[in-house]
Amino acid sequence: MLKQDNLSVTQDCHDCPIRHRAVCARCESDELGLLEDIKYYRRFEAGQTVIWSGDRMDFVGSVVSGIATLTQTMEDGRTQMVGLLLPSDFVGRPGRGTAAYDVVATTDMVMCCFRKAPFEDMMNRTPHIAQRLLEMTLDELDAAREWMLVLGRKTAREKIASLLSIIARRDATLNLGALDGPVSFDLPLTREAMADYLGLTLETVSRQVSALKKDQVITLEGKRHVTVPDMSRLLEEAGDDTDGGMLV
Amino acid sequence: MLKQDNLSVTQDCHDCPIRHRAVCARCESDELGLLEDIKYYRRFEAGQTVIWSGDRMDFVGSVVSGIATLTQTMEDGRTQMVGLLLPSDFVGRPGRGTAAYDVVATTDMVMCCFRKAPFEDMMNRTPHIAQRLLEMTLDELDAAREWMLVLGRKTAREKIASLLSIIARRDATLNLGALDGPVSFDLPLTREAMADYLGLTLETVSRQVSALKKDQVITLEGKRHVTVPDMSRLLEEAGDDTDGGMLV
DNA sequence: GTGCAGCTTTGATACAGATCAAGAACGAAT
DNA sequence: ATTCGTTCTTGATCTGTATCAAAGCTGCAC
């Protein structure tokens, strides 16, 4: 799961795996069909920096397949990931000319892009889409703020558990998986990327993952494939509200 | 500065101190004049929790005067502030029924409110306003993400310097102050509130403020009034990009 | 004034996580 | 199969910040 498709450039968006949150041609609205002629796909290789902070952004789009990270870097090299882009996530911001963060592909990825100016025109004519975008931005704001709690107040172990439960949840959403039985998924991030997300070092991440495994909160097959026998146990480890956390 | 006015409930919004970012009757658009009849002011006392996380939100509004914080709390009492509401900031979210965070007044404050449903109606009829709101939300998202870097990767001293420079900047914006000479402002937060914002303890905050004072990065009169003789020095302490940081 | 309560500072000590260092596991290229 | 380069794990030690504790400051109520 979460693996990349071989999407052809001519593929119609009806077949686009973007469904739930995406603003993408025809997936949610016929207005977007008007943009068909300015829609295109972009392909990026794993490890490639898709967008550099400060770049002119001439497009907006959605992730079709693959995974990317939004990161900020200080002059001395310290880096903090500020967001994770999974399939269906929106990239770019109407009304802004330049990128605020680096976008780095962590796997091969495909994005469904629109040239920015026509997209904005369409947005202005279509309150429905503008509202959708506001909603999505508010979701991201909530996610960022939840993450502030993780970064500011949680222990290393809680941080790892929080990250795992977020990935598990998103993976289930994307793949129509259930969250009541055991949950399995591939970690889309290296230990170092996890550390950058959590404000930790990669050594600490490794130790805490091992600890969670030893305490049977999770099982590992290889280094990347995780099974969570009991999600509520994991949420408890994350310090989240005991219930309700897995909804939405 | 940042002190509360004695705004009368009947005062017209032409005189409203909200100018720059606010979405407030007539300040930016005549469409908002239509809402005049559903506009009202709310007054809150220092220390009062204005909104509890999970509450039904039946209004949206702007802070007119005073300061409030957005905070998240874990079951065991650990708290993380996720935002600071200063005059001109927008409160509430169109399209959402319940509050996601506690809003706590840290000084006496006045808010300019609109009943939510009519405001949303108006928003739907007025793309211009919806766009303004999207822009504001994107600004907040950027602020939240910048704060993630502070929380995840900065040292205690850098955190304090970051907070001080943000407050200095916002204070200057609000009061048309300059940022090239020495800058003075009142800290609107207790040491404990600063700690909650920065993911530190109040003792560490106190120590680091003392250290910055000893190193003459700042001067203190009393415990709350700060003077920064050289903003670029402070920004350097914050670990920010040396220049440009004070713009916007 | 005196006393009290909330905020702040400062000191001593403990500990979680960083840092430094060495290897182990794994996959890809030869 | 061997080599190489990544990624990951584990160990030993160090350090920044938390924690625990006590006392100083400031303003308000009486």
CA of A155 to C1' of C16 (A): 8
Task: Supply the pLDDT for residue B34.
Answer: 58
Helix (H) or strand (E) holding B225: strand B225-228
Q: For the segment B168-210, what is each residue's pLDDT rounded down to a tens digit?
A: 988 887 776 777 788 999 998 999 999 999 999 999 999 999 9
Q: Do B35 and B12 meet the contact criterion of CB atoms below 8 Å apart?
A: no
Determine the angle formed by the axes of helices A127-153 and B127-153, rounding to 10 degrees. Answer: 20
Nearest chain B Cα distance for residue A240, angstroms = 7
Domain B154-237 CATH assignment equals 1.10.10.10: yes
pLDDT at A199 (0 to 100): 97
Q: Does A128 touch chain B (CB under 8 A)?
A: no
As beta bridge partners, residue B56 has B98
CA–CA gap between residue B169 and residue B183 (Å, rounded): 9
How distant is the alpha carbon of residue A8 from its chain centre?
Answer: 22
| Facing residue for B138 by CB, picked from A72, A79, A137 | A137
> CA of A168: how far to CAs of A109, A110, A213, A234, A241, in Å?
20, 22, 16, 10, 17
State whether residue B50 is helix, strand or coil.
Answer: strand
**Taking the C-alpha atoms of A247, A242, A70 and A128 in order, what is their torsion angle to the nearest 10 degrees?**
30
Q: Can you give the pLDDT of all 248 residues of chain A as single tens digits?
A: 222 333 333 333 433 444 434 455 444 455 555 566 677 888 888 888 888 988 898 888 888 888 999 999 998 999 999 999 988 788 888 878 889 899 999 988 888 888 888 888 888 777 777 777 888 888 899 999 999 999 999 999 999 999 999 999 888 877 777 777 889 999 989 999 999 999 999 999 999 999 999 999 999 998 899 999 999 999 999 998 655 444 33
pLDDT in the model for residue B190: 94
Report the candidate in B163, B64, B53 with the shortest Cα–Cα distance to residue B107: B64
- Assigned token pair, A77: 């090299």
**What whole-number distance in Å separates Cα of residue B104 and Cα of residue B100?**
13
- Quick check: helix, strand or coil at residue A216? coil
Taking residue B229's Cβ as centre, other Cβ atoms within 10 Å add up to 14
Alpha carbons B221 and B100: distance in angstroms, whole number: 37
pLDDT tens digit sequence for A124-152: 777 777 777 888 888 899 999 999 999 99
The pLDDT confidence band at residue B245, using thresholds 50, 70 and 90, is very low
By three-state DSSP, how is residue A214 classified? helix
Put simply, the answer to whether A127 touches B127 (Cβ < 8 Å) is: yes
Range list of H helices, B6-126: 116-125
Structure tokens at A55: 């770049």
DSSP for A137-173 reads: HHHHHHHHHHHHHHHHH--HHHHHHHHHHHHHHHHHH
Q: SS3 for A39?
A: strand
ipTM rounded to 2 decimals = 0.87
Contact (CB, 8 A) for A9 and A68:
no
Q: How far is the C-alpha of A106 from the C-alpha of B107, rounded, in Å? A: 45
Search chain B and give the residue with CA nearest A128.
B124
CA–CA distance, A34 with B193 (Å, rounded to integer): 50
Give Cβ neighbours of residue B80 (< 8 Å, ≥ 6 apart).
A148, A149, A152, A153, B71, B72, B196, B199
Percentage of residues in chain B having pLDDT higher than 70: 81
pLDDT at B218 over 90: yes
How far CA B217 is from CA of A76, B228, B238, in Å, comes to 21, 7, 11
Sheet with A219-221, side-by-side order of all strands: A183-186, A225-228, A219-221
Q: Can you tell me the distance from the alpha carbon of B122 to that of B124, in angstroms, rounded to the nearest whole number?
A: 5
Q: Are A168 and A228 in contact (CB under 8 A)?
A: yes
pLDDT digits (tens, 9 = 90+) for B68-79: 999 999 989 899
DSSP secondary structure letter of residue B68: E
DSSP B161: H
Closest residue, by C-alpha, to the C1' of C9: B206
Is B136 exposed, middle or buried, given 0-12, 13-18 or 19+ CB atoms closer than 10 A?
A: middle
Q: How far is CA B14 from the centre of its chain?
A: 22
Give the one of B134, B138, B145 whose C-beta lies nearest to A82's C-beta: B145
Instruction: Find out if CATH 2.60.120.10 is the number for domain B13-149.
Output: yes
* Strand D lies under 7 A from the Cβ of residue B156: yes
The CATH architecture annotation of domain A13-135 reads Sandwich (2.60)
Chain D positions with a protein C-beta closer than 7 Å: 7-12, 16-21, 26-27
> A–B: how many Cβ contacts below 8 A?
110
Flag residues 99-158 of A with CB < 7 Å from strand C.
155-157
Q: CB neighbours (10 Å) of residue A195?
A: 23
CA dist B111 and B107 (Å) reads 12
Instruction: Provide the H-helix boundaries in B176-230.
Output: 191-198, 202-214
Assess contact for A123 and A129: CB atoms under 8 A.
Answer: yes
Q: HSE, CB side, 13 Å, CA atoms: give it for residue B145.
A: 23
Report how far residue A166's alpha carbon sits from residue B35's, in angstroms, rounded to the nearest whole number: 40
Q: Do domains B13-149 and B154-237 have the same CATH topology?
A: no
The encoded tokens of residue A195 equal: 């550390």
Spans of all domains in chain A: 13-135, 154-237
Task: Closest CB to A137: pick one of B100, B134, B145.
Answer: B134
User: Nearest Cα to B183, choosing from B200, B166, B205?
Assistant: B166
Token digits of residue A111: 């994005």
Phi, psi (deg, nearest 5) at residue B120: -65, -40
Q: At what angle do helices A191-198 and A202-214 cross, to 10 degrees?
A: 100
